[in-house]
Structure 1
């Protein structure tokens, strides 16, 4: 087999030496155009950009890397290119030359552009990008075929990657490859690379951060890679890089010595004969390596989970008879399909609007109804929500979680496509006196159980531990049978391993549902979701919003009002009048008790969601006594214009927050 590969390599390289590499375009992977920063056509900035791209095409790269600037002040532009460390100078130059034209085609007026190919990477920006480690955006790619022994495979891959990192950070080129044996018949090929302008420390950090993403995106897959602006890592079970110094193959050294194993054809007959032999050898090689071809063709590009962008896919799938492009987990639905389904986002199909943007109803050609979230171009949090929605909910499957069907990023549109919920959200029924009659006690109790099961799945039963961070009535959708489904995972966070809590300076969520430790200190955990569930439970029982609830005499919140009634054995006074005939008193009082346990000030005192479900379903369990609930998060409005001491009203900010610094 080794002789066969030697002969095949010899034959193919000999033929290539008689042709030009310029005939082959580089293999496009992905690009990013930051449409928040654009320039005016024919402006000074565009002139500088043209000069930069022209310089790229004629530049002499050192170690396959080159960076430069053009212009001054606000018209200054910074640019660099990086070629894969194993490609020849000719291949590098051809890739960069192609990229300079391709970048302008894909991003005609954007100031911040990144474009990746298999052979090179090109980037330019109106901000300095030199010697600065950049981990955003990150693009994941996987080969969809699983290895038969994923644990062993992952161990070998991790060790090989670590060895490659150690080698890369110690050389000026910041590039290394590593081969490792998986079994007697299978070899793992790994490659790592940083931009050479990074320090050894930054290169190490970037590579290890990228490698740390591999288990999340590619665990057990036979191929995977992570790309970001400062570094890349990749592994496959077939050789995807050159095993020898590329320039020694394509460009003999100045001393005139020939490569040891590449014969130079001396006559046309020799070339034709070699070509015939090569064709025969290639045919055999194709048959023997059909598995590698199959695996290579299965490689798909995934969502840019950290940058909020969607990768162009290799494969086409069928989405209920419609044309789609996507991977197995992240189907990308074409924009023309969504336009047709929503009648071009007409107002009559508009269902409502949230922090992400408006939501529209759509109907596919086969009659399937969908709901489409459309990122508002003025939304400050929508892009972050988008990446979280796809990263999280597409990987989670539970009857009490809304199902994400696909997404789309075309023509500056950012769209999420869900299963359609005909009864919209819980708040539509709960807080409307004419609609709430449809929610008798049996229905409300069933909704409480369903929400609790969905949260328990997120916290305890899914392969990821998810903290939702924005549980509220408007984020509970109802299907045709009024079954609850938790939605809006844009603010959710993943906990790994034994992690129990985290801290953030970016507090997001909705006042009235936030746990005090989160609202004030930025601390969140499963117990902060429990607090939100407790608020939601009391709202379902009372039919009143915690946001906007007031008790005229004492300016009490719904939580403190419920506590007062329960502690005085008057809990039934809390219930929605619509429940007077249908409620089961013992169940109502138990739910109030559980709700108060969930909203206790100290997170340690709050139950877990599995305990909540046990308490809800058990008729004999003795519940612990709750402490007084956490303080009221809100603001007190000014006194009314009429001079009366009896009409002080407490109101609460009901706006969903996207960025609030804790006090």
Structure 2
């Protein structure tokens, strides 16, 4: 009995590929499950040769991934190996009911198959019964998109005479319940989280002519938030019947962020976590269920435009009111000295030691920038100058702090430690740093369109920002801010969110930069207090300016001001506030 892989539509995925495969789905729970692999090999990314640096990095990375995944309860690991153009990024997600040994063995199989099956393709995803493995030359881990997706079907239809509508309804209901349980039952304290659930539909209608039942599984990668996991799985549900025929006896969608699967034979170990009755009397042991997705609809998709507007409009209103109140307070009274100064070191010595792998030599950066030639200068501010350079075949921006820069060594180390551990498509990526011969140099990915303020407040340049671009910038900054506040491993308050710290790539996608003033919060911490008020007037919240109190709400206030600037093309009146304030 043979099956085939499907070419799936790219709803959230950046790269969805498909290839012909053979899949055997067994009709009974007693039979042994199929093994794989079923690959998707992206030959557009190029190939590598045996024994090359890239090949050696793949070997090392797979070993690290299988070791780390098999040693964590989530059976999940991510990582990278190598540097420059030979860097490999990877992920392994083992099925949640496996033993650590089985998870390790699946990684071993992947280490052998990636060369044999994908013919030295740089970007490859391998699907097994026991695990999903993804390797790529680009940092797909920085995105929550479900890239590298593989779609598989059994190739066998349900028996003739089966009520297909009832069958599809049973499958959809079971998948929805399994998705809910996978998200709602994950342990909040675990890191990475284990999003995993199995299900079974029993008491099937005789018209379905299925003797054994329907089995299901839902799973997410452990480095995303519950909301992101639910969104990822909902998107798979929404496209399920657009991708698959309505009478398959088994199908699965596997990607780098989540996967979903059902079969008419048992493919997992242990008792099902969710058990439903065909007549609807049974219930999943999960929390209160939400509305099921109706087959053939897109109920699982999110209306991102409407949702974002519901978020932005209240923020804009609050920001305008707060700005007016702030001005009144400033005119009527001086800032009091309330609050205690709590000195904070937002990094630890071991944290700084952990980023030495991206330490660069001064000589390499001198070569990259032609010894900091004026022709390569991109801009200059109070902190120093930024130069364009070419390092290991890629364009970079080198931030060279001046001797009298306001950003001292503590702020520099703070920025290094924080940014090096952040991976998101809407945050500027740190490529390296140098602290040699008195130089303080930070190397970032190059952003061709520079900062938002250079375009937004320029009479001619702002014509490049149509409403679609403005909306995308607002949405991208919001996603980056949400990652800092909720979805990263550390809760981070930026404290200096403004137009000049929003950088734009070649496609006008926004990335938040400059983390020199950022502060690290404990997961349960809601605010902090300081007497050292730093930041940019016009973007600072009233409680921060007046009392030194800052929190994630401070960043949301700054975001509201930024939204107003983007919508109106008018710069916040920071100079007015500066003339009225005296910072102690």
| TM-score over 0.5 (shorter chain) | no
Structure whose CA Rg is larger = 1
With CA pairs under 8 Å and 6+ residues apart, which has the higher RCO, 1 or 2?
A: 2
Task: Give the shorter-chain TM-score range.
Answer: 0.3 to 0.5
| TM-score, structure 2 normalization | 0.40
